[in-house]
Each structure stands twice: as structure tokens, then as C-alpha cells.
Chain A
Amino acid sequence: GAGVSQSPSNKVTEKGKDVELRCDPISGHTALYWYRQSLGQGLEFLIYFQGNSAPDKSGLPSDRFSAERTGGSVSTLTIQRTQQEDSAVYLCASSLTSGGPVHEQYFGPGTRLTVT
């Protein structure tokens, strides 16, 4: 079946511009996560959506970052007034949760963001 998809695969933008990154999770997966992988850094958590609950935004690095998830499916990560330190690979993951133990997370191919 279809996996997690992300678009665009690559994005080059000028400093100060806004960007939107899109994630389509696996159908039926209620949990969705955004992570960021910067050069020389490990993967860091950004934000988490679970069903219709309010998202957990505890990993967002600044108020320039926001995300939404429409209809419990597609998610968009928005970065306003981009800075060079925002350059990274942004990864989205989804998992099937049922209130029990945490399930396996499936990752998309990522969006490579370069801020010039």
C-alpha cells in the first residue's frame, strides 16, 4: 500500500520568505509526527498530532514554526520568515495508535529545505 508521502522533495528559498511543507500520512493512521534533521545533528522532534486532540507543539524551535492537520489526515508545516539555520531535512512520520502501546512509526522521504 501507499506509504507516507511528502512534498516538495526539495525546496530552495530566500531568507525571509515563508515556506509550506506537506505530509500525507498512511491512510488510517491517527498519529502524525514532524521531525527535523539538520546537518551534523540528530533527528529532533517538532510537533505531534493525535486524532482530533490539540497538537503537542513542545518541539517547535520558535514561533515562526506552525503546523496544522486538516480532516485528521494531511498535515502542513509552515515556516515563516525563514532563516539560514532552518535549512534541514524535514521528515514526517505516521503511526497507527489505539490507546495501547505505541506503534511503529513509518517515515516519509523528507523535504530538503535550503535557505539562501
Chain B
Amino acid sequence: KQEVTQIPAALSVPEGENLVLNCSFTDSAIYNLQWFRQDPGKGLTSLLLIQSSQREQTSGRLNASLDKSSGRSTLYIAASQPGDSATYLCAVPLDRGSTLGRLYFGRGTQLTVWP
């Protein structure tokens, strides 16, 4: 069974700081790793998807890295803004088993960026 852990569980920072959110997983047989954002009372918004053959992906102020062999990923947020406040989730699907694509989620990092 895949176990996904996210550290820290919560983070509160002033606007402008650069942030690193961590995700680790126990089974490295993954197809890809996906980072999501969830605003209170809302669904999930996909931020970045890194295929297992890739090392990193970038989108605007976001950069996600993947070290598949060590079971780790980091999400780097540059120059944080109050609008970045949300819960950030990482999720991985195993590349084997009958439920192809089933995502295993971490508990998330709740980020608060204050002005």
C-alpha cells in the first residue's frame, strides 16, 4: 500500500517569502506525481504533474521536483502572495495493480500567507 506524507502540516508566512513544501511516498513504482491546491469549501485544482521520467516541472512561480528513487517531491513557491493561501496536496498513482490511476493522497499542507 502506498503511504504519502506531507510536511509541514501547516505553514504561516509573511508575503514575499519563498516556500518549500515536502511530500514523500513509500512505494516508488509511480506513474507520476501531481500537486493540487484546495481552497476552503472547494474542489481540487491541479497545479503541476510530473511524469516519473521527469525531474521537475515549472509553472509561473511554482516549481515541483521529483526524486522517484528516494520517494520525495518538493513544491517550491517563489515570492508568496496572500492569494496563495490554501491547502496543498500531493498525490501519486501506482504504475501497477488493477486500479490504474487511483491517486494516493497526502494529508496536505495548509498554507497561510499574510500581508
Q: B1-37 toward A: CB 8 Å interface, digit per residue (1/0)?
A: 0000000000000000000000000000001101010
Question: B63 at the A/B interface (Cβ < 8 Å)?
Answer: no
A112 to B42, CA, bound (A): 10
Question: B86 at the A/B interface (Cβ < 8 Å)?
Answer: no
Interface residues of B in 62-95 (CB under 8 A from A): 89, 91, 93, 95
Question: B59 at the A/B interface (Cβ < 8 Å)?
Answer: no
Question: A95 at the A/B interface (Cβ < 8 Å)?
Answer: yes
| SS of A interface (majority) | strand
Interface contact A104-B49, CB-CB below 8 Å: yes
Contacting residues, chain B, for A58 (C-beta < 8 A) = 98-99
Could you tell me the distance in whole angstroms from the C-beta of A7 to the nearest C-beta in chain B? 13
Interface contact A104-B99, CB-CB below 8 Å: no
**Given A43-B89, A110-B43, also A97-B103 (CB < 8 A):** no
Contacting residues, chain B, for A43 (C-beta < 8 A) = 89, 91, 103, 105
Question: B102 at the A/B interface (Cβ < 8 Å)?
Answer: yes
Interface contact A105-B103, CB-CB below 8 Å: yes
Q: How many A-B residue pairs have CB under 8 A?
A: 74
Could you tell me the distance in whole angstroms from the C-beta of B70 to the nearest C-beta in chain A? 21
What are the 4 A-B residue pairs with the smallest beta carbon separation, nearest first?
A107-B44, A109-B43, A43-B105, A102-B31
Residue numbers of A with Cβ under 8 A of B are 4, 6, 31, 33, 35, 42-45, 48, 50, 56, 58-59, 91, 93, 95, 97, 101-110, 112
22 A-B pairs within 8 Å (CB atoms) are namely A31-B100, A33-B103, A42-B107, A43-B91, A43-B103, A45-B99, A48-B99, A48-B101, A50-B101, A56-B99, A58-B98, A58-B99, A95-B101, A101-B32, A101-B95, A102-B93, A104-B34, A106-B46, A107-B36, A107-B43, A107-B45, A107-B46
Residue numbers of B with Cβ under 8 A of A are 31-32, 34, 36, 41-46, 49, 51-52, 89, 91, 93, 95, 98-108
Given contacts A45-B104, A105-B103, 17 further A-B contacts (CB under 8 A): A4-B43, A42-B105, A43-B103, A48-B100, A59-B99, A91-B43, A97-B101, A101-B31, A101-B95, A102-B93, A102-B95, A104-B32, A104-B49, A105-B34, A107-B45, A107-B46, A110-B43
